[in-house]
Structure 1
Amino acid sequence: MGKLHRTFRNIINSTDLSFQRKFDINWKNRMTAIIGARGVGKTTWILQQIKQRFPNLEQVLFASLDDLIFSSRTLVDVVDEFYAYGGRFLFLDEVHKYANWSQELKNIYDSYPDLKVVFTSSSILNIYKGEYDLSRRVIQYQMDGMTFQEFLELKYQIKSPALTFEQILDHEYEVQLAEIGEEKVLSYFHEYLSEGYYPFTIEPNFHFRLKKALEQVIDIDLLKIESMTLAKGQKIKKVLAIIADMVPYKPNISALSKKINIHRDEISLAFHLLERARILNLLIADTKGFNVLPKPEKIYFENTNLAYALSSEPEIGNVRETFFLNAMKNAGLAVNESKKSDFLVSRKWTFEIGGRNKTLQQIKGLENAFIVQDGITRGALQALPLWAFGFLSNTFLKES
């Protein structure tokens, strides 16, 4: 315990509070899970919260579950000792790296009613899956990558308020333009599309670091969480490599199966695992049927930074669609394929995405339909600027 406390104090002392993600949880919950892709800032956010909310660190412990101490002691043993010395707030990082996490978290929850636990994990982890039922015990939150709003604050110290979906549709982005500068907004936005989704954007070698993080997702996280073999991991890499230069990809699973000699069921599973890992976004048709693994109509990268990191030269039209889909989904809006345009949002609004020369022809005669244009700073009537969706608020509590 002494080593854990010393490590914790050292980390807290060096935690910077100058920039913080637009994210929050309900602190009244007894046990909270924060899941998200590698690199979105889960660990940093927790440390910042500890530093601000808990002046008495004697009651607090932060520990990463890949610490060597857990190779000789169980998590339950450590918590028993921590609680006996007055500990009441426990923060656990990388819980998926601890083999018996599900059973021991259940035991901790049941044994210590006044102990609050917050833990992080890969977005691949299904905390409600497995032998030990955590569904009645854990409240789960998803941390997404940064919005354009957050990128501007982190990289350029430009602060301006978020926008609601309705405000964007009503062209209410004057405040944002004034703060950014109308002459700079498009330049900043295209920088964000290339390398602004992850907080390590301010560090060197961004795309190299992002590719290494993706390798770890497949080589470590998927293998550990899904108990996959290395051979299956290699097959998933093959699937990703083939579609990388083709997104948005309209999947022909039979053809892809023959091309890389993988059973079609394994390809479908690979698509959905990569979506859970926040590497892909699957666009599903607007149907009312139920399918555990529905066939996607189109496959996109989860965010535009991945397109620039993995594709030799991403096509700008695809990048625009990828950004729009990501912004909608991260804001909690349902997005489906549209039979008449690019996207159908919440089964009500139709959106066609394009450049500054895109006309209204494709949405002519449609209700609740908009053209979303890149390359413009302001829109009018049914034409909306693409950059404005980077201010769409995703700060509501995403409990599941």
Structure 2
Amino acid sequence: MRDILNRVLENCELTFERLRLSLPDKKRPFYEKLNIDNTRGALVYGQRGVGKTTFLLDKIRNKNFLYFSADNPLISSLPLYDFVQEIFKKGYEGIVIDEIHHSNSWSLNVKALFDDYPDKYIWISDSSNLMLKKSVADLSRRFVQYRIPMLSFREYVYLVTGRLTEKIDIFNFQKSFLSDISELNILKLFNDYLNFGIRPIFFEGEYCSRLKNLIEKSLYSDIPFYVKSIQDSHLRLMNAIIGHLLISPVPTINVSGMCSEWGIGKEKLYDILYVMEHSELINIVRKKNKHNYSKGSKIFLSDPSCYHCFRGDIGNVREAFFVLSMKELYELYASDDEKECDYIVNNKKFEIGGRNKKRKNAEYIVSDDLDIPLGNRLPLWMAGFQY
């Protein structure tokens, strides 16, 4: 067994060296806020394709750490504890284990390694906080959690143009920030970002094909790991919900109609929506003080570029982006009265629409065809400059 462990370990060393040499020159600015260096036990999570692996590889490129992915067939067949023990025996100060859920009894093994090797660093990553909810009881006292969100528009502009601007507080900004982007075709960049720039996989080309593969992996590979009782019919229903949200001009679902069509009860449908939300496949915007999905809630695909890549109804893209950006920083609710406004953010009323959108009783109107702020009218792209 030890000979096998050593052969696999050498393979991991070779793979890690290749990955280290292929790291991109430009990194997501968001990485700078993740103070992981002195954290002995770290759990990094976020949707597939947001840059978790790049972040971790960059952090350990000059450390005496070893990286490997638990979905590697050579590794998934080995006892995790024994394999990591062999790595530590070789003198490594820490490990990074990607796609940790592929390892059998991973939480028990990681907990034991953390306790048995108090001088070693153990960093793990995965794609969903559903995994955390299942196993965090064993790890919460030991492991610090770090979430990596979707790429912000501010980050996209930096990665594409090299221009890194200050973050904007959308509730209290100085117009002087406009001088930082004055030479940029900001609306063209924003359109490109919404269509094929929400995840940094755009560097690799074939964005839409890659995105479709990531969505399928999340749906059909990841979720069955996290929710063992899930049935094939439930996965097909999730796919149907995604399809419905893609083409529906109204960002919601008919609960009674869907229950009737699929032969399930409301509670089961709510459970499925919960799984999809916590897998970050969808964003549900509820009314204030409504904790479950309820009438009047809005549902969007969490990645706005899905509407373009899957040839959906692009009418919901601007709201999907607004929700994605604002939800990252603030409490966000659907309005109780749509005659008043669309959303309540930080106790302020927001209305989303084009240049000629009427104000209603909103304090802010957010327009997708506006390049600079004008009075209480804000360009939609500004929501993406907040992180």
Structure 2-normalised TM-score? 0.89
Give 3-state SS (helix, strand or coil) of 1:152's partner. helix
Q: How many residues align?
A: 372
User: Structure 1 residue 255: deviation in Å?
Assistant: 1.5
Matched with 1:308 is 308
Instruction: Give the superposed CA RMSD.
Output: 2.1
Q: Return closer, same or farther for 1:248/1:97 CA change in 2, 3 Å cut-off.
A: farther
Runs of 4 or more above 6 Å deviation: none
Q: CA deviation at 1:231?
A: 3.2
Structure 1 residues 132 and 75, CA gap change in structure 2 (3 angstroms): farther
d(CA) in 2 for partners of 1:83 and 1:145?
34
Map of 2:261 onto structure 1: 259
Q: Secondary structure at the match of 1:169?
A: coil
1:13 aligned onto 2:33: no
- Counterpart of 1:211? 212
**Could you say which residue in structure 2 is the equivalent of 1:156?**
161
Question: Relative to structure 1, is the Cα distance of residues 132 and 392 closer, same or farther in structure 2, using a 3 angstrom cutoff?
Answer: closer
Q: State the match for 2:348 in structure 1.
A: 349
Aligned partner of 1:190 in structure 2 is 191
CA contact (8 A) 2:99 2:127 kept: yes
Cα offset, 1:310, TM superposition: 2.9
Does the C-alpha gap of structure 1 residues 131 and 60 become closer, same or farther in structure 2, counting only changes over 3 Å? closer
Could you say if the C-alpha distance between residues 129 and 36 of structure 1 is closer, same or farther in structure 2, counting changes exceeding 3 Å?
A: same
Task: Check the 8 A contact 1:254/1:264 in 2, yes or no.
Answer: yes
Query: Which aligned pairs between 1:1-400 and structure 2 lie closer than 5 A?
Result: 1-23=9-31, 24-51=34-61, 53-54=62-63, 59-130=64-135, 133-163=138-168, 165=169, 168-175=170-177, 177-181=178-182, 184-227=185-228, 228-246=230-248, 248-287=250-289, 291=291, 293-295=292-294, 297-315=297-315, 318-331=316-329, 333-339=330-336, 340-346=340-346, 348-363=347-362, 369-393=363-387
Distance in 2 (alpha carbons) for counterparts of 1:203 and 1:82: 32
What letter is aligned with 1:148? F
The Cα of 1:10 is off from its aligned counterpart by 2.2
Q: What is the alpha-carbon distance in structure 1 between the residues aligned to residue 355 and residue 287 of structure 2?
A: 28
Report the CA distance between 1:207 and its aligned residue: 1.5
- Paired AA for residue 133 in structure 1: D
- Deviation track 1:118-160 (CA, whole Å, cap 9, x = no partner) reads 1110124332424962121121121111111111122232222
Structure number with the higher helix fraction is 2
Counterpart for residue 4 of structure 2: none
Q: Letter of the 2:321 partner, please give it.
A: F
Give the conservation status (yes or no) of the 8 Å contact 1:61–1:87.
yes
Using the TM superposition, give the Cα deviation of residue 204 of structure 1 relative to its aligned residue in structure 2, in angstroms: 2.8
Instruction: Give the partner amino acid of 1:390.
Output: G
Does the 8 A contact of 2:76 with 2:103 survive in 1? no
Q: Is the 8 A contact 1:243 1:249 kept in 2?
A: yes
Question: Identity of counterpart residues, as a percentage?
Answer: 27
Inter-partner Cα distance in structure 2 for 1:209 and 1:379: 35
Contact 1:335 1:344 in 2 (8 A): yes
What CA distance in whole angstroms lies between the structure 2 residues aligned with 1:206 and 1:85? 40
Shift of residue 181, structure 1, vs aligned partner:
3.0
CA distance in 2, matches of 1:32, 1:132: 15
Q: Distance in 2 between matches of 1:183 and 1:13?
A: 32
Change (3 A) 1:294 1:133: farther
- Deviation readout 1:7-44 (Å, 9 max, x if unpaired): 22222122223333422233322211111111111111
Q: Distance in 2 between matches of 1:98 and 1:87?
A: 21
Q: Structure 1: how far apart are the matches of 2:384 and 2:84? A: 41
Unmatched runs of 5 consecutive residues or more in structure 1: 364-368, 394-400
- Structure 2 unaligned spans of 5+: 1-8
Measured in 2, the distance between the counterparts of 1:17 and 1:112 equals 34
Q: Out of 377-386 and 122-131, give the one that drifted further.
A: 122-131
Q: CA deviation at 1:254?
A: 1.1
With the length of structure 1 as denominator, give the TM-score of the two structures.
0.86
Change (3 A) 1:359 1:8: same
Given that 2:245 and 2:252 are in contact with CA atoms closer than 8 Å, whether structure 1 keeps it comes out as no
* Paired residues of 1:32 and 1:138 also in contact (CA < 8 A): yes
Shift of 1:244: 2.2
**Alpha carbons 1:223, 1:230 under 8 Å: kept:** no
